[in-house]
Amino acid sequence: MHSKRFRLDRLLIKKMQLSNRAIRLLLAQKKILIDQQPAISMNQCVDEYTHLSVDGQTIYAKRPSYIKLHKPKGFVSATKDSVHKTVIDLLPSSSPDNLHIAGRLDFNSTGLILLTNDGRWSRKLSLPESDIDKRYRVTLDKPIYQAIIDIFATGIYFSFENITTLPAALVAIDNNTVEVILKEGKYHQIKRMFGHFQIEVLNLHRLSIGNIYLECSLQEGDSRNLTPHEVVDIFN
């Protein structure tokens, strides 16, 4: 989902019935502020979360929401579902009604889910060039061996899509528990990667996305707003 974007001049014409001449004058006088900084061009782009003021009058000051949720089993990673309860049903009633999910988990998977109404932020999370690690703890029906670790590190070919996964880190914790670190999130990717070796995934739990971790104090079904530092630090 993307935040709505507008050209500055078109927005001001629509919202304030200003002429192009008036907009140019306000620009020259540095009376149009975008996120507290003087606007530089009539065709500068703004979106619904830009703080925009004109000659001291606030036009836009909508604040985006960023939420961390500890997903339990038995909830769908969707905003609506005709059969099952969704992760949205776990949020307080005071939560914004236009949230979407940044990084889904399967119905029976647990762990960290991020929700937001900021399309720019969630899109950046999904871009390969953002290079964001997603870390999972996985319980398997049988132990792994070194060759599997090596193949994860080079990528596994999925014939149905004719693609090879990006290199992934695989670390054994004990006989049947591993940690997997991915930089992508294809459909049922971890289950399919282990399925390549006839190994069944019994449980999958997401521990972190980038520098945002699922702390022990956040119980299953609970959520909290991200701090401003977390919103930015996830990309560092």
The CA distance from 123 to 132, in Å, is 12
On the 0-12 / 13-18 / 19+ scale of CB atoms within 10 A, 1 is middle
141 a catalytic residue = no
- CB of 138 closer than 8 Å to CB of 190: yes
Out of 106, 131, 133, 141, pick the active-site residue. 106
From residue 72, give the alpha-carbon distance in Å to each of 54, 99, 113, 152, 222: 46, 19, 10, 27, 9
From residue 150, give the alpha-carbon distance in Å to each of 13, 19, 155: 59, 64, 9
Annotated catalytic sites, by residue? 106
